[in-house]
Structure 1
């Protein structure tokens, strides 16, 4: 993919280098263009060393390969990302004022445009800026909202440049060849462990990190789905464009799942939900040598969320479960598929040398009623893409499933 990266005069300009690096790591070609003020914050040498391409900073320059440079670059790129975009640049873009390289390229470009504002909260909230942003949206520009936090001026509020990873994800979503694959579909995904309280300081849980479920949320969002992610207690950033609901216990997860299940087209149960919980959680910390000591904990069974979903399955709904097994992987996965009544089971080996929990890597087999339909190994993001693709194939082959 050919990425044109526009940078304007914000303190956040240094983050453009990190954004460029993400595309380069993916194998994309990146050319940076700057406003004059951007060069007060980031040097052409930095950007050229990183991308291997000259920085476009003179709208009157000629390029022998592309002719008139701003026209050549506009035709060359697959996406034009402007990050950071200051209030001044946003105003110029909204009114077609082409007095700097970035604004000139904007007028010449017909590729998708992604703009990430960065400025003081008062400037962002000013009616003039909001009018300009509304104009750009009406013109087809995709705006990625700035984040809240401590600003360069030491104010706290909305105006920080969005996370580089979110800008990257938004760009892939705009340019992904299968970005409309799940357009109009509502996808419900669970991720992470649950915690079942013993007392105010202790709980029963497992080693799930939630990374696989979050990777699935990214994959489906990038393919156009409306994704709701129900997450157990994990320390992971919410994928761009995904609605997140945080829960702690199995019962909280069940309540959240059932509240959204009826209006979901696809449900993927990637969470490692505790099978049991303490029958009675102590209100005070259990201490040694007391009647509330932890020698014996009476357990009671949690609701089987996947089985219940399958029993209440709606017409046209597709339900996927996960099977984390330490032995006889495919045999146990096939048994789980039949026992639960799911449409697909994602089977992965855990324990021993298969360090799936907490890892960024995974190896899976996809099991349906016809047997193993696919396998995948690699990063959890790559595995998630395979799962999303295979579900699409299954739905295409069996649209009334």
Structure 2
């Protein structure tokens, strides 16, 4: 006989294990409420959030301006589909394009959708504008990348967990070592006329917040310009204030041909993503060739417009830059016997351990009241909300030192 929910033992973590597919391995924390940089679990215990939803919560949990923007829109209209226009859509596209210094915006929902959009647009642009023979377009990517988990995106992943068992894989991609300009030059020498785009994370997030060597992004830009290919920057995690600037590319003085944005663009309230580029690139699309029922919906646009307004002040970029110096100085003081490397920019860091298990460190951190997440075994990622104070940041880093020593 089928049980109804009230008949079940309402152990929330147990319900997750029983009824949810096991595609995640969450830490033993069940959140019930959150505000700013603090999360409260079902037992009333508070945690300092040092992960911020993988940068989706750059402005903290339930930022008052973002919640107010969502509430206003909830009282008006939330969805019309793109079969009709609405009064938030045009202003959102204009404001985001201006923030990016670009011409046009194609809104979607998730980061993976933004990447899929870029793949389709790059290929179409390559065939119609660049003159690449039909079906021969090549997009260059980098080892260690993480651009999402759709079947096409995992086709060019080098992570066995993300890729294995999901073939057959989509062709049309060439991967080279991240940060290796010589390898990229070799691919351009071999495949240059067929290369329509280079898809790059200015800082690799899932790989462990990996910063490329100085001059690498400038080299990518120069090779793309010389070959007439597009440079597409996946700033879904690194963008919108996380690294102490609106975009990580700008730290290297680089302007790509397109930005891919997501996560923080929805303010931690709704999923919002976008490809932002020039009219000559996004202009290759015609009605019916690409779209999304929820992409650019009124609620998403209202929240994202407020996100853009917050970023226009420059306050959050400045906070990330200033606090980032304090952040990285404290991380550099962790015992070298335990920590093999620290990388990152602004309020974003990957801490790799010589022998400690990243999961064990994160579990210890949770027991001390701090939320973080491991990646690839011995690395943990830290990305506190940009609204964190100096005292909160120091408290969290003290707990990290305690956890490292305890493990």
Q: TM-score band (shorter)?
A: under 0.3
Given the two structures, how large is their TM-score scaled by the length of structure 2?
0.27
Structure with bigger strand share is: 1
Greater helix fraction, Structure 1 or Structure 2 = 2
- The structure with the largest alpha-carbon Rg is 1
The answer to which structure, 1 or 2, has the higher relative contact order (CA under 8 A, 6+ apart) is: 2
